[in-house]
Amino acid sequence: MHSISLKEFKEYFDNQYMSLCLFANKYIGDMEIAKDIVQDVFVKIWEEKITFKNESNIKTYLYTSVKNKSLDFLKSKTYKATNKLTDLDIQKLETEPFFLREVVVQETSKIIHEAIATLPKKCAEILLLSIQDYSNQDIANELQISINTVKAQKKIAYKKLKPILKEYFLFIAFALE
- Which residues share a beta bridge with 51? 3
Q: What is the pLDDT of residue 67?
A: 92
SS3 89: helix
Binning pLDDT at 50, 70 and 90, where does residue 86 land? low
Q: What is the pLDDT of residue 69?
A: 93
pLDDT tens, 7-66?
888 888 888 898 899 889 888 888 899 999 999 999 988 888 777 776 667 888 898 999
Class of domain 108-177: mainly alpha
Q: Where are the alpha helices (DSSP H) in 76-95?
A: 77-82, 87-94
Assigned fold of 1-94:
Rna Polymerase Sigma Factor; Chain: A (1.10.1740)
pTM for the model stands at 0.56
User: Do the beta carbons of residue 74 and residue 85 sit within 8 Å?
Assistant: yes
Q: What is the pLDDT of residue 156?
A: 86
Task: Delimit the CATH 1.10.10.10 region(s) of the chain.
Answer: 108-177
Distances (CA, A) of 118 to 71, 111, 125, 127: 36, 11, 11, 12
Q: Judge residue 143's burial from the number of C-beta atoms within 10 Å of its C-beta, 0-12 exposed, 13-18 middle, 19 or more buried.
A: middle
Distances (CA, A) of 79 to 63, 70, 98, 121: 22, 11, 21, 43
* Measured distance CA(167)–CA(98) in Å, rounded: 25
Query: Per-residue pLDDT for 167 more than 70?
Result: no
User: Do the beta carbons of residue 62 and residue 107 sit within 8 Å?
Assistant: no
Query: Per-residue pLDDT for 174 more than 70?
Result: no
